[in-house]
Amino acid sequence: MRNGLTMVFIIAVSLFSGCFGEDDVAEDEITEFGDGFRAYSVVAPIDTGINPYHNHFRSNETLPQWLIEGLGTTIICNLTMEGTYQERVDADQESCWSQITASDVVYFKGTRIFGTSPDWDSGTPILDDPNDGHGTAVTGAVLDADPDAIIFFVEGFSENAVLTAANQPLVDILTTSFGAPGSVPVPGIEDATKVAVVDNHKIHTGAADNSPSPAVQDATAGPPWSIGVSGYAEGDDDQKETMSGSYPDMASDWTQYLPNHQDVDEYHWTSGTSFATPRTAGFLAHVITSLRGEYGDFGSGARDSALVNGSEIIFNHQIRDALNRSGWYPSALGWDPSSGTTPVSPILPCTQLGWGVLNWSNIDGMIAHLNGTSPIPDRPSDVRLCMQVNQEAREAYWGVYPTESSLFSSPLMVAVESDGLEVEDDIAA
């Protein structure tokens, strides 16, 4: 049993990563810079597969050759854009799908999607599973929060799949929505996500479980370098979703209207941390792209350890600190007893929602904090103390402790610095 498991049971008194389970293409409004392209961010969903034929993913934007090459493209598929979903797949079988191997990276022209299937050994690589659709919905959630994001989609659930994204230099954010049901304390993808964040200075958003289990010991949401995401009922009663992990970093929208995986224009309502998590990744990509545009940074990935590397430098821990500061707790006065949600407690709401909830209302404040035009104040001392307990539990459980030499400093430590506490750089959340 690992050190810190006792802390996990202490926090368990608080309330499978995953889910419970059309439009015409709009003209893209893009601001172009420099060589004709724009500031951008690259998000890497790692999941079941994707349906690149869906109108949700269509784009009229021409991506530059240097970006296509930089993402390691080996095949460009010119997708058929007429007919039913199955008619399109069949029409492209010989020219596209049958050509793809596990070592290929495919750019789907007419979209902003790049895909790869490093663990592929049967079926059609990259294309979403006929009986699933999870990855298509996950990617839809990213793009609902940042429609201009470049997608580097990795099919798979293994460490190898995660490392494929972690080691792609142009990727900024990895998002994963899978893990052990019940957040049982078993190893998962934590070593690979640590490479992404600690070694390669990216950001990782990981889904908490679809149960009230605390997220601390969850291999996807719990490691201190990961941003663990649970769900709340955005736009309904705005309370904590009962069947959603507790004591995460943040909570985002639990129920969303997302693209189907075997047609070209239909959508469905679906719920789970699986979709709150990529939505969080999309919001963070939006923030990064905005700051890159402001500071004349037209690259992506961490360069010299910085995710924004133009006239100003911004690191992943600073973005995470802004995220933590931007969180807020909805009032329990809006709770609908018939909704199936749990009211946000006025006492230690952090044990339910972490630093708080994330939606579009957070975004401008995060950008203003990071560019220095309007710093977000420290969170109240009780919130910071509660999340310090969370931090210490995660560091103890996952065997990670502050090290002064680390390049990745803790947003939590930044947040408590004004109280005069001793501050050290670390590799934690």
As given in the structure block, the two tokens for residue 29 are 């409004």
> What are the tens digits of pLDDT across the range 18-64?
454 433 333 344 444 446 799 999 999 999 999 999 999 999 999 99
Q: At what angle do helices 273-294 and 316-326 cross, to 10 degrees?
A: 120
DSSP percent split of the chain into helix, strand, coil, nearest 5: 30, 20, 50
User: How far apart (Å, rounded) are the C-alpha atoms in residues 328 and 363?
Assistant: 12
User: How far apart (Å, rounded) are the C-alpha atoms in residues 240 and 70?
Assistant: 41
Residue 19: per-residue pLDDT: 52
Q: What are phi and psi of 333, to 5 degrees?
A: -65, -20
Domains of the chain: 5-51+112-419 (3.40.50.200)
List, for the chain, all residue ranges whose pLDDT scores fall below the cut of 70.
1-35, 401-429
Q: Is 79:96 a contact under the CB 8 Å cutoff?
A: yes
Residues of 297-336 as b/e, b for ≥16 C-beta within 10 angstroms?
bbbbbbeeebbbbbeeebbbbbbbbbbbbbbbbbebeebe
Burial (Cβ within 10 Å: 0-12, 13-18, ≥19) of residue 32: exposed
> What are the tens digits of pLDDT across the range 70-103?
999 999 999 999 999 999 999 999 999 999 999 9
Q: Is 343:239 a contact under the CB 8 Å cutoff?
A: yes
Q: What are phi and psi of 146, to 5 degrees?
A: -145, 85
The reported pTM is 0.87
